[in-house]
Structures are given as structure tokens and as C-alpha cells.
Structure 1
């Protein structure tokens, strides 16, 4: 049974979400403050965390950032009543796997949860020359179990989004990946949400590599050099 954590300060809404998800067959815990939610998420391994942004004690964005610093593989679905596109882009850039605006229908919430639980970490592909739990392209070695990059004698931690993005580029090494393709396969978007979320994460990846390995293909996307 999948384990979920709902971090929601509004008591009635938190209980409503938990009851609805338990009815779908999930094991659900509820936390009502930012510090409590962070402590619960670090103390137990959850398959998905549903996180409100407006929390007492510690804002949801801060909880998200701190949690992913310790557990970059943690999947987080953000719930928020904010209509601001910048807010949505910020949490996605921080590493959230999805954003659901309040108010929402139970059916939509259940569908989003099912979708995010169904998406597994990227598996190794023959195009990247991977074996077992590794993807390898040139000097880059990506550990698919620990979500870290091994570069020569350095082990480099990655956020969940950085890991998924690099894995996609490595599987398509030597080929151009469009921004639309990356938004769909790495972020799960079937539309362009606006902003420069892909470019921001590519810059972060580049900063962690010793030399330039990700080329920009103007007006198209990016290409990871095969050697």
C-alpha cells in the first residue's frame, strides 16, 4: 500500500483530503504545520507528499526546498489557492513534480496522485550504454538508485528534477532534445506553462559539471555531447 503524507494547515480540508485518498486505497498521514510536515517527511519514507504552500511555522516552499535537500528523490505534489503563475513556476523549479490549484475536484486530485505514483524513476536505456543501475555517457556515470552523478572521482548530488533531466539527456546523448519534449517527459506537461523552467535546470546541471557537456541548440532545445 502506497504511503502518502498530506501537509495542510486547514483542519477540515486536511481531513477531507486524507479521507478521500484513504478511500482510494492509500495509507495517509496528515501534518498541519510546516515544521511538523518536514519532520514527518524526513522520519518516514513516503511515496508522495501533498504539500500546501501557506503553512504556519514554515512556508511550504521552504519545506519543499529543505526536504529535497535531504531527499532529492522525494515526489511532492503542491496544493495552492494562489493563481500566480510565478508561484507555480517557483515550486516546479524547486523540484515539485506537480502543482494542483485549489479548489479542486476529488476526481482530479485522485487522478494526479495516481499519475505521479505511476511515474517511476528513469530506467536505463541501451542508447546510453547503461548497465543495471547505471547510465554512462563518456565520463558521466548516473546512479539510478541513489540519484547521484559520479564524475571521475566526485559524487555529485542531484535534485529529483536535475536527475530526471540529466537521465533524459543521457539516454538521448548526441541528439537534440526540444524544450517541448523535455517539458513533457521530465515535467509531465503537455503544454508550455510559460517561464524558463527548462533553461533554469539546464543551467544548474551545467554548474555541476566540470566542463561544458550540454550544448544549446538555438530556438530548439539542448543536446548532451556523446563524448
Structure 2
């Protein structure tokens, strides 16, 4: 999952970004409203965390312009403004949630999980495909209820495949949603991590449920998962 944090308090955005990366998310950050709007309109983020008091352009203006172009990307406003009219205005302009500063990081994590589950129409925090399961809260992968040791990047890849079974996913899409802005489409990183994930799944399952569609991308075969 690829998250954008638009926040001008350096200590706060650094701690948010660090915590989310430890949770397995890919995070991009910016501290300027104009740059934040450009990123919102040009990059396919899975979720945006948006401060209201920003240099260059305020958060509500960003939200209004974003919603004119993009009605689906979840947005959580993070703001020190506590007045009910501020919350109402933010929600009316299209924010999905409003979190007042200061807040506990655990609450932010829970709200992110709630929104991302809602986006992918998930009724449970545990994603499954046959013998494979992945708990999106604990980040624990299992095969036949036995833990499968994965790196943070391998966990993110498995989660994305489980969210989109039986659909060919291009390397570009994986980079957009699982890597941050420092990785480009020519990087060998994606092949290395997918290869490692497939080896671990093959060793645990006895077969490889991820197929390589040459020239197209990768597919998690749900029928194979149920074998």
C-alpha cells in the first residue's frame, strides 16, 4: 500500500512515515501544499494523509481540487483545528476521515486499516486464498496456519496479490503501490523480491501459486491456492 503524507511539521511527518514504513506501507512525504497537490494529481496513491495548515496551498484547497479530479482515493485529514465547522467542511469537501492533533499513532493505524479495508471491500482484516492467509493488522503470513517468514517488502507483495487474485498485475502497478517514489520502472528490485516470495511460497506449498505472464506481469492463481 502506497501512502502520501502531506504535513509541514517535520518531526510529526517523520514519525508518521517511520511508523507506517515499519507497518509495511510505502510512504512518500512532502511539506508544501503546491507540491502535495501535484503529487496527488499525478501519482496513484492508495491513501493520503493531509494536513490543513500548509505553506503554498492549504489542505482544504488541495482536497477540493483533488476531488474534482479523483473521487476515490481515501483522504484522512490530520489537523490541529478542533472546531466542529472545520471538521464538517473537510468532510463535506470529500475527506473520508478527520483526525485531530495530537493523536495516538495506534488510532491513525486503525483508521488507515478501516479505510483500506473499505476500499477493497474487505470484511475481515485477514486475507485468504486457499491455504494462504495474511493478517493485515499483525502483518503475519501463514500457510496451513503455520507462520511464513517474509520480509516487509515480501509481505506487501503478498498482501497486494491477495487483494487482487486472478488478475494480471503489471510491474508498473506493483511499483506504484508497493514501492516509494525512489524506485523507477527499470529497477531490478521488483523481480528480486517477487522471486524470493515465490521461492518461499513454493517451499511451503509444494508449488508456485504466482504465475509470470511474459510481457504482462504476475498473477496469483486462486485455483492453484485451493489445490
Q: Is 1:93–2:62 an aligned residue pair?
A: no
Q: Deviations over 1:110-158 (max 9, x none)?
A: 11111111102779xxxxxxxxxxxxxxxxxxxxxxxxxxxxxxxxxxx
2:112 corresponding residue in structure 1: 113
Q: Is 1:40–2:39 an aligned residue pair?
A: yes
**1:59 Cα offset (Å):** 0.4
Q: TM-score, normalised by structure 1?
A: 0.52
CA RMSD of superposed structures (Å): 1.4
Inter-partner Cα distance in structure 2 for 1:37 and 1:109:
20
Higher relative contact order (CA 8 A, sep 6+): 2
Output aligned runs, 1:22-171, within 5 Å.
22-120=21-119
Output aligned runs, 1:4-23, within 5 Å.
4-23=3-22
**1:73 Cα offset (Å):** 1.4
Determine helix, strand or coil for the equivalent of 1:119: helix
Q: Deviations over 1:196-220 (max 9, x none)?
A: xxxxxxxxxxxxxxxxxxxxxxxxx
Inter-partner Cα distance in structure 1 for 2:119 and 2:6:
23
Gap runs ≥5 in structure 2 = 123-227
Output aligned runs, 1:195-206, within 5 Å.
none
Gap runs ≥5 in structure 1 = 124-227
Inter-partner Cα distance in structure 2 for 1:83 and 1:42:
28
Give 4+ residue runs of structure 1 displaced > 6 Å after superposition. none
Inter-partner Cα distance in structure 2 for 1:13 and 1:93:
26
Inter-partner Cα distance in structure 2 for 1:67 and 1:13:
23
Q: TM-score, normalised by structure 2?
A: 0.52
Inter-partner Cα distance in structure 2 for 1:19 and 1:36:
21
Inter-partner Cα distance in structure 1 for 2:78 and 2:65:
17
